[in-house]
Chain A
């Protein structure tokens, strides 16, 4: 067995882990190891082939809820989700964090740049967000980078008096190839791999990829449980990946401080299989997915849909009143073929209209239900995701679908359809030929499988709360039950962060990283 020793072990190299590795390495005097379950694939590997690029995703892009009904996409490679997402960048939402302070007792996370959280100079969520935005170049794209598909959403919204906005994106000089979700072959998307992780590696952080952590090492010391490292296995390097820094085989890493950044599926799974105390039965519970509903519009003319920036226009018009967004996105043929409904000639005719199809998605900010959860299946050694839409969320989704169909017609669609097999009203399936038919969406039942619902924003399975009955970690991201163990990723959000989570995760990681650097002694370092 390979044995390594370090000051800080960071498990997971996504939006959180990459930022933490860079931030902690700024102090320059700590040995830091960053481990990643997936491979280290860089721009020369990204060939824009949907099938080949499945290797960048958890379970080769086939991860789904336990009943198979909802795909749960997530990056599993160096950079994690930031390598395969479409760069949509929302700052942390002040109202959401203020709500967490009120309802979960969180401290710190000031939105005032002059604040000194925990008495530490320049420690505020505002400063952390600003620093993250600068490093990954968050900005709104110019007009000439808004493609037809996005213009149609903007136009449809405008026709109905619905507010539409320009996304901010973490890109630099995007050439508009349209393949963000297959990894950026041009290195223009500013994910953590080419920004924060590159900074960390330049400062001596050791990256170990293809490293599957089996369990955290927890020891009893003076009556307290203490994290002292982790044990796992380094798999053989996948073809196309960069070489690894250690040989394949069993690996044990001893560390003074362990920071878990595995995401809202893998982090609770690792805690549960490692025997992390769970006195209140809350680890893994209350999963948020941001269920999303694709809306397809069949136009009479060709449009630019798969070239250019996938998502540059969104609408938050209904966010405050109903908790959902319209977000413009488009897929390439392999993804589209699965989303387009039907079989045989019906399906092929839709595919023949690929270049005349507009699309955007409804993204629901779902509510917490303890029955929605991540479990660790000890027998089969895998994380299992249980999720069902709650009745109130279904009601909001019906309203959202109705409005979305109206917007697509207002954008000029000849027909609008939802990827669904549900008969609604007089319609055998949700395929609408007139705006007045949109009201039939009120009859959608969202039975599993019948209507396509997708997801990619897992959150809230290892919640943060000062009260140990409500959360697994405190406001410093420290486990309530295990010393020298931090959990810092989307799993610690007490509820949904209210939007696409990347920048919220990165800002939180930057914030906690700066705090740890100011408080090394708190961890005996």
Chain B
């Protein structure tokens, strides 16, 4: 990791995460500002986070999980969603880097009245999560144990803040789409696949 994020950059970049992950929507003006404040991460910055995320969403150690390595899933993900080659994924790249920084989780200022109402709960949940970590100084998602990674991802998924929810749902969706569009996953769950007319099969 080469990027040290300024707190201010994080705050505005969270808005970027929201908009950028929403169908890779075009940037709004404030996200354009965020783009200037946060350097474009390199693959060395975000691919370890992506790998750890894939390993958290998909249970590779499950006895009935298809025999497939995390590296293969990562390669398939990047083939479907070319994060580096397609500029529409710029904000996802940044989102992954932000997500990795556990200490930044409680720094996002509430954007709406609804979020303000839940801000104290949000911090309390985070503090409970931090207190349960095996290492006091753990700062990175990528440095956590597998159960801790799951707990951290769920922290995002159960957040009352839209930006964190959106990151959770989008990253989860992209990983699951990568997996369940493949025949070995279909076989694992007992799905027989398409039933095409003879003219299609020839």
A residues with CB within 8 A of B: 43-44, 47-51, 59, 62-64, 66-69, 177-179, 185-186, 302, 306-307, 332-334, 336-338, 343-345, 347-348, 351-352, 354-355, 379-382, 421, 447-450
Contact status of A67 and B162, CB under 8 A, knowing A343-B150, A343-B153? yes
Q: Which residues of the other chain, A, contact B154 by a CB distance below 8 angstroms? A: 343
Residue from the set B23, B154, B179 with the largest chain A CB neighbour count within 10 Å: B23
Indicate if B181 sits at the interface (CB-CB under 8 A): yes
B residues with CB within 8 A of A: 18, 21-29, 56-59, 62, 64-65, 80, 114, 150, 153-154, 157-158, 160, 162, 165-166, 168-170, 172-173, 176-177, 179-181, 185-186, 188-191, 193-197, 199-200
Question: In the assembly, what is the distance between CA of A356 and CA of B6, in Å?
Answer: 49
Contact status of A49 and B172, CB under 8 A, knowing A348-B58, A447-B160? no
Q: Are B157 and A421 in contact (CB under 8 A)?
A: yes
Which one, B21, B23, B179, B193, contacts A63 given CB within 8 A? B23
Contact status of A64 and B199, CB under 8 A, knowing A333-B180, A450-B165? no
Q: Which residues of the other chain, A, contact B188 by a CB distance below 8 angstroms? A: 351-352
Q: Which residues of the other chain, B, contact A336 by a CB distance below 8 angstroms? A: 180
Contact status of A334 and B177, CB under 8 A, knowing A44-B200, A185-B197? yes
Residue from the set B25, B29, B179, B185 with the largest chain A CB neighbour count within 10 Å: B25
Contact status of A337 and B196, CB under 8 A, knowing A379-B29, A421-B157, A447-B160? no
Can you list 29 A-B contacts (CB < 8 A)?
Answer: A43-B197, A44-B200, A48-B193, A49-B194, A51-B80, A66-B22, A67-B18, A67-B166, A68-B18, A185-B196, A185-B197, A333-B180, A333-B185, A333-B186, A334-B176, A334-B181, A337-B176, A337-B180, A338-B173, A343-B172, A344-B59, A345-B62, A348-B62, A351-B188, A351-B189, A380-B26, A421-B158, A447-B114, A448-B162
Question: In the assembly, what is the distance between CA of A306 and CA of B192, in Å?
Answer: 10
Question: In the assembly, what is the distance between CA of A337 and CA of B175, in Å?
Answer: 10
Q: Are A344 and B150 in contact (CB under 8 A)?
A: yes
Q: Are A177 and B195 in contact (CB under 8 A)?
A: yes
Which one, B62, B150, B179, B190, contacts A337 given CB within 8 A? B179
Q: Which residues of the other chain, A, contact B150 by a CB distance below 8 angstroms? A: 343-344
Q: Which residues of the other chain, B, contact A186 by a CB distance below 8 angstroms? A: 197
Which one, A47, A62, A347, A348, contacts B23 given CB within 8 A? A62
Q: How far is the CB of B66 from chain A (nearest CB, A)?
A: 10
Residue of chain A at shortest CB distance from B26: A380
Question: In the assembly, what is the distance between CA of A333 and CA of B179, in Å?
Answer: 10
Which one, A179, A307, A380, contacts B27 given CB within 8 A? A380
Question: In the assembly, what is the distance between CA of A47 and CA of B196, in Å?
Answer: 7
Contact status of A355 and B162, CB under 8 A, knowing A49-B194, A343-B153? no
Q: How far is the CB of A302 from chain B (nearest CB, A)?
A: 8
Q: How far is the CB of A387 from chain B (nearest CB, A)?
A: 13
Residue from the set A302, A306, A348 with the largest chain B CB neighbour count within 10 Å: A348
Q: How far is the CB of A132 from chain B (nearest CB, A)?
A: 27
Q: Are A352 and B197 in contact (CB under 8 A)?
A: no
Q: Are B194 and A68 in contact (CB under 8 A)?
A: no
Question: In the assembly, what is the distance between CA of A336 and CA of B177, in Å?
Answer: 10
Q: Which residues of the other chain, A, contact B28 by a CB distance below 8 angstroms? A: 379-380
Q: Which residues of the other chain, B, contact A68 by a CB distance below 8 angstroms? A: 18, 21-23, 162, 166, 169-170
Residue of chain A at shortest CB distance from B170: A68
Q: How far is the CB of A71 from chain B (nearest CB, A)?
A: 10
Residue of chain B at shortest CB distance from A45: B200
Which one, B23, B162, B197, contacts A449 given CB within 8 A? B162
Q: Are B56 and A343 in contact (CB under 8 A)?
A: yes
Residue from the set B157, B179, B194, B197 with the largest chain A CB neighbour count within 10 Å: B194
Q: Are A448 and B172 in contact (CB under 8 A)?
A: no
Q: How far is the CB of B1 from chain A (nearest CB, A)?
A: 24
Q: Are A64 and B22 in contact (CB under 8 A)?
A: yes
Residue of chain B at shortest CB distance from A307: B195
Q: Are B177 and A338 in contact (CB under 8 A)?
A: yes
Which one, B157, B191, B193, contacts A355 given CB within 8 A? B191
Contact status of A59 and B194, CB under 8 A, knowing A333-B185, A450-B165? no
Residue of chain B at shortest CB distance from A382: B26
Residue of chain A at shortest CB distance from B188: A352
Q: Which residues of the other chain, B, contact A64 by a CB distance below 8 angstroms? A: 22-23
Q: Which residues of the other chain, A, contact B153 by a CB distance below 8 angstroms? A: 343
Q: How far is the CB of A350 from chain B (nearest CB, A)?
A: 9
Q: Are A344 and B194 in contact (CB under 8 A)?
A: no
Residue of chain A at shortest CB distance from B147: A344
Q: Are A47 and B157 in contact (CB under 8 A)?
A: no
Which one, B23, B80, B191, contacts A332 given CB within 8 A? B191
Question: In the assembly, what is the distance between CA of A338 and CA of B173, in Å?
Answer: 6
Q: Which residues of the other chain, B, contact A69 by a CB distance below 8 angstroms? A: 162, 165
Q: Are A343 and B57 in contact (CB under 8 A)?
A: yes
Q: Are B59 and A44 in contact (CB under 8 A)?
A: no
Q: Which residues of the other chain, B, contact A185 by a CB distance below 8 angstroms? A: 196-197, 200
Q: Are A354 and B65 in contact (CB under 8 A)?
A: no
Question: In the assembly, what is the distance between CA of A338 and CA of B170, in Å?
Answer: 10
Residue of chain A at shortest CB distance from B59: A345
Q: Enumerate the 6 nearest inter-chain pairs by beta-carbon distance, A residue then B residue, closest first.
A: A48-B194, A449-B165, A62-B23, A68-B22, A337-B180, A380-B26
Q: How far is the CB of B35 from chain A (nearest CB, A)?
A: 14
Question: In the assembly, what is the distance between CA of A215 and CA of B157, in Å?
Answer: 40
Contact status of A306 and B22, CB under 8 A, knowing A68-B166, A338-B173, A421-B157? no
Q: Are B162 and A338 in contact (CB under 8 A)?
A: no
Q: How far is the CB of B63 from chain A (nearest CB, A)?
A: 10
Q: How far is the CB of A456 from chain B (nearest CB, A)?
A: 16
Q: How far is the CB of B57 from chain A (nearest CB, A)?
A: 5
Contact status of A333 and B196, CB under 8 A, knowing A64-B23, A344-B57, A382-B25? no
